A and B are shown apart, each in its own frame.
Chain A
Amino acid sequence: MAESRDLQARIYRGLVVLLFGIVAVNLFQMQIVHNQNYRKQAAHNRQERVRVRAPRGRILDREGRVLADNVFKASITLPSSSISTDGPDSTLATLIDWFELDEETTLARLRRQQESGRGRLVLMNDASMSRLAAVEERARDLPGARVDASARRRYPNGSLFAHLIGYTGEVSAAEVDTAGKFPLYRPGDAIGREGVESAREVDLRGQAGWYLREVNARGRVVGTREIALLEVLPGRDVHMTLSVELQDSLMAAMAGRTGCAVALSLPDGAVLAAVSLPTFDSNIFSRGISSDEWNALLSDPRHPFLNRLVQATYPPGSPYKIVTSLSALENGAASDGTSYEPCLGSYHYGDRDFRCWKRTGHGYLDHTGALVHSCDVFYYQVIQRLDLAQLKEVALALGLGQSTRSPFKGETAGIIPDIEWYDRRFGKGRWTRGVMLNNAIGQGEILVTPLQMAVLTGRVASGDANLSPRFFMEDLSAESAPLPFRPANLAWIRHAMGQVVDIGTGTKARLEAVEVAGKTGTAENPHGDDHAWFVGFAPASHPEVAVAIILENAGHGGAVAAPVAARWMETFFNWRERGEEQR
């Protein structure tokens, strides 16, 4: 018996040594061979690499009023590992239960976030106070869950500046450049999508910071030390030349009609107000919008998202007579006193009749009278003493046919046709000189944007060839250069434009205290009713402001557009005066 116990004892001891040996070898494997790997995991366990988003810069008007800023919202976030292939972890499951969320849709949403490569998953944006408090209070039972503050873009003026400021969107995974240690964007970051938000993205976005923090098993920050790998740089504020007050007044003057209006201050070209109608609420993108509302906006035939200021083109109509007149004077084709055959309501050229807008005719008019009363027949005759190249030269000098280099996406250059253009369009010899007659009155193939017309008006009023629209306060110090025209000719144009408002087609733009100069237009439009134009500046003798207004399909410029100018200018001069007093 003792003998057999010896054998058993030997086997037992062998077994003990073998099993302890396995445990020891395993420990050696873990602690010595794979030590680095475990060390890394341990560091990863306790060091959280945190990215701190930079607060986006604000957008301010010329008086420092806020056009766009950030509001902070608290969201409930979870680590990316909260969902595995097995489903939610206990924290997420508990939260879904507490908040009575629909499990299926919530998990699907979080999985999408997980796939997009976000650092933490956002369970709930803009969570209510009671829910935030619940998560904070029960933090011990909810390892990983955290309340994070994040910023939402806010546009306090709603739809007033929609096309100018634009809006921000979230960066998607596809857009993120993952190269580099500290990529500029991460999915979920805000990025400017339209307008100034997009144009000044580089200034506004700032620079996200990266920090290492010590956290415990519950995801709570425990270390007092925080290592900055890259300091956060807040975005810079952008100061615009716009004024909330003037914008508001221009919007009110437009009375909700479809069209566009813009006002430049002279001589610096600062854009004081610019509206494009219809408009939309800038906040819909950051706040969220129902799909019904969204579809209604998208299918609206008046295209609310179109920035008419630079993206829409119109025939300029009668205001283009400024170009024709100036070209005639500069090229010696006509003087201020020139007169031709009387206007009898239409003019026969080639094999067709070209009508004057006034069916009864204007009778005898000299050049000044023709501009003041906008007589088409006069211009049909003066254009025959000019060529298209001479007309185009003046149009280009006044800013038409080219981008105004506004900060907006999709700006179009418009069209100022010449012989080559017509040859390309219709084929050599397949068009007649009849198109010239249409060109003379701003019809035919000419297309301009409202902003270009404001520039044209501003250049005529100031005589500055460099006058361009300036949207940002820091861009206001451009050097001026005289227009390549004889000052007398410009003076005559300005005088005639004064007469337009005094006694001509634009009398509805008249103000009591200030002398206004301008030109009305009723542009024929192949797609529907005539567009109403008014371009003008004031005071006529020493211009401080230039406006261009177009109301789509609204009829006569003198009847519809000119009053808009008058109403807005009244506010402008009050505002000017107040500013003067304050200074």
Chain B
Amino acid sequence: MIVSLLARAAHTNKMLIVLYALLCFASLSILWSVTEGISGPYKVTDPGVAKAVFWRQVIWIAAGWVALLVAARVPLNLLEESSPFIFLGAVLLLLMVLMFAPEVAGSRRWFALGPIRLQPSEPAKVAMLLVLARMFGRSDSSGRQLLPVAGSLVLAMVPMVLVLREPDLGTSLVFVAIWLGLVFWFGLSWVVLLSVGSPLLSAVLSFYSERIVDSPWPWGIYLLVLLLALYVGRFRVMESFFLVLANIGSGIGTSVLWAGLKPYQQARILSFFQPELFRYETGYQAIQSKIAIGSGGLFGTSYLQGTQKGLAFLPERHTDFIFSVVGEELGFVGAMLLLGLFMAIILKGLAIARAARKPFNSHLAIGVVTYFTFHVLVNISITTGLLPVTGLPLPFMSYGGSNFLISSFMLGLLVNIGSRSFET
């Protein structure tokens, strides 16, 4: 039966299955290396990451294939119809984790079920995506736009705020990203979208540039992207002018507003933005990760030979910082290949979203694409020091069951949608 399922899936979307298999192989290879320690003339006294991590990931990958195939086969109508209940269940789980989960390093993020850790914020991503896709799918973007947008925002805020309370800033931003992706795909009138959304985004990013990373780039790149979008969207000159003015104005306004705040208020906002930075050793992870990646060079130190990984200079090298090991041991070439795999998934997903006739399917697909785009770009930006450190796994690569299962399920949805592109 599995064979027939595989054949069916392979028949429809061979490419995604192959990419998935390649990523599973890459993940296992790197985790083997990470748990191996360093080979060569060293006497390793400090093994660091246990071999068990590798074997557990083998099991997770096996489970992941099941999740992928289930998601690829499940009737999407069923998912659409049951999405409110799935969403309620996910929110319930998030509430329970806040109330009953053990506190580890100052946060409550998972339940322990025997040897397995369940992280409710992961299924909540799928649950929110399903319910939002249903909402947008049933609305008409050419009609009244405000209702689905405002309604979806309220819905998205629920899991986001709950995850933020854990606290887990990185994951809560995933909810925001997915919502933004769906709103974008829904097709708000550009003027509405930009004149409401862009000054807000500009304010946040200018604040982020100035106070959090102390670099003009996030805001600068944002402004460039905005200009590009205005040009590509063929906006009228006057509209464009006022939009840019509003963006710059709100960006500058933020600093003025900031200066007017009392120090304790500033501190509160800062720690809201950077809970991770306040908890971990400032900068150490980012610096070590950059050293590892940078020392990789074109072809890397070669597999199993990374010294920064082997001598434990890299923190979280089996989870959030696994990309650093890729960069160190496989070099620029290896990193590019991995980036290529992810980009292929994302572009293929984008094509599937575009081809999907049924609005629910299309929105679901773009949500999955946004999920992967956000996770991959933010995770790699963190390991290369472009973004401040916040906990976010690299899908399919990082060790960890919850995220692997959910990512597999998400990919399975893409496969599913891709095979039903003619459904309406």
Q: Are B41 and A224 in contact (CB under 8 A)?
A: yes
Interface residues of B in 275-313 (CB under 8 A from A): 281-282, 288, 290-298, 307-308, 311-313
Q: Chain B contacts of A482 at CB under 8 A? A: none
Q: Could you tell me which residues of chain A, from 1 to 39, have a CB within 8 Å of some CB in chain B? A: 1, 4-20, 22-24, 26-28, 30-32, 34-35, 37-39
CB interface residues, A 197-217, toward B, < 8 Å: 214-217
Task: A224 to B187: give the CA distance in the assembly, Å.
Answer: 64
By a CB distance below 8 angstroms, the chain A residues around B146 are: none
Cβ–Cβ contact A35 & B294, under 8 A: yes
**Are A24 and B311 in contact (CB-based, < 8 A)?**
no
- The residues of A that contact B296 with a CB separation of less than 8 Å are 31, 35
Instruction: For A125, list chain B residues within 8 Å (CB).
Output: none
CB <8 Å contact, B184 and A12: yes
- C-alpha spacing A394/B257, complex, angstroms: 96
A217 touches B311 (CB 8 A): yes
Contacts of B291 in A (CB 8 A): 38, 41-42, 45
A30 near B294 with CB under 8 A, answer yes
Nearest A residue to B328, CB-CB: A42
- Residue of B233, B313, B353, B354 touching A46 (CB-CB under 8 A): B313
Contacts of A67-99 to chain B: CB distance below 8 A: 86, 89-90
Q: Are B350 and A16 in contact (CB under 8 A)?
A: yes
Indicate if A218 sits at the interface (CB-CB under 8 A). yes
Pairwise interchain contact A1-B141, C-beta atoms closer than 8 A:
yes
Q: Given the complex of chains A and B, what is the CA–CA distance between A218 and B281 in angstroms?
A: 14
Residue interface bits B205-238, CB-to-A below 8 A is 1, else 0: 0000000000000000100010011001100000
Query: What residues of chain A lie closer than 8 Å to B225, measured between beta carbons?
Result: 15, 18
Residue of B nearest to A225 (CB): B41
Within 8 A of A (CB), among B180-218: 184-185, 187
Q: Does A223 contact B (CB under 8 A)?
A: yes
Distance between A31 CB and nearest chain B CB, rounded to angstroms: 4
Kindly state the separation between the CA atoms of A343 and B257 in the bound complex, as whole angstroms.
109
CA distance A400 to B96 in the complex (A): 98
Within 8 A of A (CB), among B96-137: none
A45-B308 in contact (CB<8A):
yes
Give Cα A4 to B369, complex, Å. Answer: 18
- The listed residue (B46, B141, B142, B327) touching A27 by CB distance below 8 A is B327
Contacts A16-B373, A19-B377 given; indicate if A32 touches B297 (C-beta within 8 A): yes
- Give Cα A35–Cα B295 distance, bound, in whole angstroms: 5
CB of A222 within 8 Å of the partner chain = yes
Contact yes or no, A222 B339, CB < 8 A: no
Binary interface profile of B, 338-380, with partner A (CB < 8 Å = 1, else 0)?
0100010011001101100000001000100100010001001
A220 within 8 A of B: yes
Chain A: which residue is nearest B380 at the CB level? Answer: A23
Q: Which of B308, B331, B350 contacts A42 (CB 8 A)?
A: B308
- The 8 A CB mask of A32-60 against B (1 = contact, 0 = none) is 10110111011001100000000000000
Residue B266 at the A interface, CB < 8 A?
no
Nearest-Cβ distance from residue A147 to partner chain B, whole angstroms: 16
Q: Which residues of A are found within 8 Å of B332, using beta-carbon distances? A: 27-28, 31-32
Q: Are A38 and B335 in contact (CB under 8 A)?
A: no
Cβ B232 vs Cβ A14 within 8 A = yes
Query: For the complex, what is the distance from the CA of A12 to the CA of B350, rounded to whole Å?
Result: 8
Q: Which residues of A contact B366 (CB under 8 A)?
A: 12
Contact A11 B229 (CB under 8 A): yes
- CA gap between A136 and B384 in the complex, in Å: 34
Chain B residues within an 8 Å CB radius of A17: 343
| With contact pairs A20-B339, A224-B43 given, residues A215 and B311 touching in the complex (Cβ less than 8 Å) | yes
Q: Is the CB of A222 within 8 A of B294?
A: no
| B 36-75 to A, binary, CB cutoff 8 A, 1 in contact else 0 | 0000011111100000000000000000000000000000
CB of B336 closer than 8 Å to a CB of A: yes
Chain B residues within 8 Å of A23, by CB = 339, 377, 380-381, 384, 386
Residue of A nearest to B224 (CB): A18
Q: A220 with B386: in contact, given A20-B339, A20-B377, A32-B332 (CB under 8 Å)?
A: no
- Once bound together, how far apart are the Cα atoms of A216 and B327, in whole Å? 19
Assembled-state Cα–Cα distance A223/B310 (Å): 12
Contact of B384 among A7, A30, A37, A217 (CB under 8 A): A30
Bound CA–CA A17/B141 (angstroms):
27
Q: How far does the Cβ of B321 sit from chain A's closest Cβ, in whole Å?
A: 13
Name B41's closest neighbour in chain A (CB-CB).
A225
The smallest C-beta distance from B105 to any residue of chain A, in angstroms, reads 13
Q: Which residue on chain B has the smallest CB distance to residue A26?
A: B384
Q: Please measure, in the bound complex, the distance between the C-alpha atom of A39 and the C-alpha atom of B307, giving whole angstroms.
A: 11
Q: B187 and A1: CB pair below 8 A?
A: yes
B293→A220 contact, CB < 8 A: no
Q: How far is the CA of A344 from the CA of B312 in the complex (A)?
A: 98
**Contact in complex: B298, A216 (CB < 8 Å):** no
Residues A31 and B46 in contact, CB atoms below 8 Å apart:
no
Measured CB to CB, the closest approach of chain B to A292, in angstroms, equals 43
Contact with A along B404-418 (1 / 0, CB 8 A): 000000000000000
Pair B43/A11 contact, Cβ less than 8 Å: no
B232 to chain A, nearest CB (A): 6
Pairs across A and B, CB under 8 Å, 8 listed:
A4-B187, A20-B339, A27-B335, A35-B295, A42-B295, A42-B307, A222-B42, A223-B42
Given A11-B232, A32-B332, output 8 extra A-B contacts at Cβ < 8 Å.
Answer: A4-B141, A4-B187, A12-B369, A31-B327, A41-B294, A220-B45, A222-B43, A223-B41
Interface residues of B (CB under 8 A from A): 41-46, 141-142, 184-185, 187, 221, 225, 228-229, 232-233, 281-282, 288, 290-298, 307-308, 311-313, 327, 331-332, 335-336, 339, 343, 346-347, 350-351, 353-354, 362, 366, 369, 373, 377, 380-381, 384, 386
A residues lining the B interface (CB < 8 Å) = 1, 4-20, 22-24, 26-28, 30-32, 34-35, 37-39, 41-42, 45-46, 86, 89-90, 214-218, 220, 222-225
Among all A-B residue pairs, the 8 with the closest Cβ atoms: A38-B294, A42-B295, A216-B311, A31-B332, A217-B312, A30-B294, A217-B313, A9-B354
